[in-house]
Amino acid sequence: MKIYTRTGDKGKTSLIGGRVDKDSLRVEAYGTMDELNSFVGKAMTELDTVIFADILTDLEAIQNELFDGGGDLANVMKERHYKLSEEPVEVLEQRIDVLMEEAPPLEKFILPGGTPAAATLHIARTIARRAERQTVTLLKAEEDVPAVVQRYLNRLSDYLFVAARIANSRVNVPDNEYVRSAKVFRTDKKKED
């Protein structure tokens, strides 16, 4: 089997049910989801399999969900059956809540960094935000786009932020606070004297 087909040499690519220019809004959106998926995979290689078993389980599911969402954006068939549902959005919300209970109190903006895994998760978070923006643009331009993809990407960026903080805190690496940040977040956790 040859990996190259030469069918894209004139700037077109195949979708599920049609062909479009390689710089179309759809291709930008699902291409960014593919980029995001790659960084999620990179983060997985940087996480200890014992200390971060729960997060690795989350990230494996996320990789599959990103593939589903990207496929849904690439689908231009007249009758469409989408793979991504509301359930993964709800699961992300539940996992965010659990991880936020574990995370150290947050009062100030933090800078991406800390451990290599945390830094990679922050990169993935920013790519998730870009993919979300591109999906919003696509939603405005075309009617037949599953809106759940945008909601999923929104929750995913929040999840990746919290996961990056946990990637630091579980190995006792503090978050790097933005030095000129005022106290912008209120915490419900009681501070010890």
Check if the beta carbon of residue 28 is closer than 8 Å to that of residue 75: no
Instruction: Give residue 191's pLDDT.
Output: 44
Tokens linked to 147: 């809106």
Check if the beta carbon of residue 100 is closer than 8 Å to that of residue 155: no
- Give the domain ranges of the chain: 15-177
CATH 1.10.357.10 fits 15-177, yes or no: no
Instruction: Give residue 179's pLDDT.
Output: 85
| pLDDT tens, N- to C-terminus, the chain (193 residues) | 776 677 666 687 777 767 777 778 988 999 999 999 999 999 999 999 999 999 999 999 999 999 999 999 988 767 778 899 999 999 999 999 999 999 998 888 999 999 999 999 999 999 999 999 999 999 998 767 889 999 999 999 999 999 999 999 999 999 998 888 888 876 554 444 3
Instruction: Give residue 8's pLDDT.
Output: 64
**Strands of 51-162, DSSP E:** 110-111
Q: What is the pTM of this model?
A: 0.89
Instruction: Give residue 193's pLDDT.
Output: 36
Nearest one of 55, 61, 65, 64 to 117, comparing CA atoms = 55
Helix, strand, coil shares of the chain, percent, nearest 5, are 55, 5, 35
